[in-house]
Amino acid sequence: MSQTAFFASGCFWGTQYHLDKTPGVIETHVGYTGGHGENPTYEEVCRGKTGHVEAVEVLYDETKTNYETLATLFFETHDPTQTDGQGPDIGSQYHSVIFYTNDEQKMIAEKLIKQLENKGMNIATIIKPAATFWRGEQYHEKYYEKRGGSPYCHIYTKRF
């Protein structure tokens, strides 16, 4: 059976890059969520006027992976302590946000944050209920896969 998760951890190119490599992930899509206004464009989101963040929608097979595995990867592939963006990407569209679709996802996200805080980290990640997800422009999909290279802001760092 498939489930859906939504993660925002800075530029969606790097977030998608890591999630796509996870066994059990069926597909991912880049897009925008969490703000106001319908069908936002990349340019509108980058101007910071919509309140949307760059995010990734993840469809996964729960018989092959689980939400906790994906959420752990989310925390280990970006800096969840950065408040103003991610790496050199500065702006509200790059905030660290988990958009949960049910109470179990929310509890797992809160548990992981508590574990990181117990290790002395000041976590900036926001946990919010999922909102409408607007798919991004096609040229953003699978960016690193199309162009080669690897993410500059999303370097794997073991935290758990």
Residues annotated catalytic, as ranges? 11
The SS3 call for residue 30 is: strand
Amino acid in the structure at residue 108: I
Instruction: Compute CA 91 distance to the chain's CA centroid, rounded to the nearest angstrom.
Output: 15
Residue with tokens 């597909």: 27
- 23-39 burial, b at 16+ Cβ within 10 Å, e below that, comes to ebbeebbbbbbbbeeee
Amino acid in the structure at residue 74: F
Q: How many CB atoms neighbour CB 149 within 10 A?
A: 10
Distance CA 135, CA 64 (A): 25
